[in-house]
Structure 1
């Protein structure tokens, strides 16, 4: 078993990771600056050598909006000073350049994290510094997460019920996602991964046109309206509109991980029912 310090346990990803880690028997201590889970050991105070020392792994799933200006640089230097063997940090796949119809991958696709995604490139560099110092720094680049406890998912379904899908980008552009429960199991699997950057998403990326139809079927509409073409074209210049066809083959081969929810065709109808949105079918596979 791996003794884990979990940062960001109050967030969606943190709660999922806490569930997965404790389900596998790993002792977990949580550290967060807001709502803390009940029934698990809680660490307080600032991030320090005394805080992180003695843990086998530190998992940082704090949302980007909660990171300090220096990203995770202070956490990295503290873990190095304390001799922590492993540091796992969550990141995102949407910082990739547009991949067209091809698969994007950490080892062969350029990162172009513009604007609000600059934090992702910064924290990835900082985790690489941890590895360079002799530790095992693991970055998990997640697809867009969705699930019953994710506010953005509720908003997406609510808009779909009103007849809209506001996801920008070309109809043929790819979009990759991961169920929040599988975010948690991927974090647990990362305890067994080599140092490096790993892409983590479900088994079936969807073209935006197909995702629109999945959402429409979930809420019982024949189709959904999308943003005007001029707005979609403008968004195409940002990460939100790019084509990202993410493949997790390398991470699965490395760790034995596999998503429990292979596709949004399966997952979104279940999530809709969990959130009390109308959905007649258990899946919307064509």
Structure 2
């Protein structure tokens, strides 16, 4: 039997956090970077070729964060929608910058072929603090359901709701980092009053398919494209990646809607969650961003003709 991890500095082992522990956690968070400078400024430059819309906002301790979506200027309701989301976990940097790189370098290739809707940074407070959670110590990527109380997730749900039947493909850009094991999973265990069981961080890129709607050829097309940019994560000695069976090289599956994950918000035919490993000695930050952009292009290139 595992005992609760004794080392996490907040809370009492085996007892879920109350508001007091959440406040203690929040007080310890430090702002490391600027959403306005890093993200909003780049989105502003995209207004020359795209429509930029504020689809909501979150305000924490008097600081307002506008939530921004970038849309195709030639939007045509007769076309399917390609949805790209990044920064659901604010600390997963290449998810944000990979989405922006796709918009800046590749999105014009899809003019007239698909309606693009790109949300580069779903969780700006988490982006600034390089954290998985939002201000309320909630994980946005377990909160995509009505009544979750997560403002970032609820705003994205409202944005997407009118388009759900028209979304053909949704690619959600994420990272798996060493800090998942050193900070975020221990923090989650402490928050929930559960035991922390150490896991293994895979070295390389992988995808999470939807176990209720598997699309192996679609996932393979993305893996093939990304393999030209960075390395694909191998299975561990149990044939798994982060505790899930590897169903194809670099591919695992989750029940995305059951888990209230971002990839399940549309019911699109083609969905995937990317996972880049930025801490690998074999991958630079530029490669990680490029891998995310390549994954988006490959997802669209496969889905549009197969739609």
Work out whether the TM-score is over 0.5.
no
| Greater RCO, CA 8 A, separation 6+ | 2
Which structure carries more strand by proportion? 2
After TM superposition, the score normalised by the length of structure 2 is: 0.30
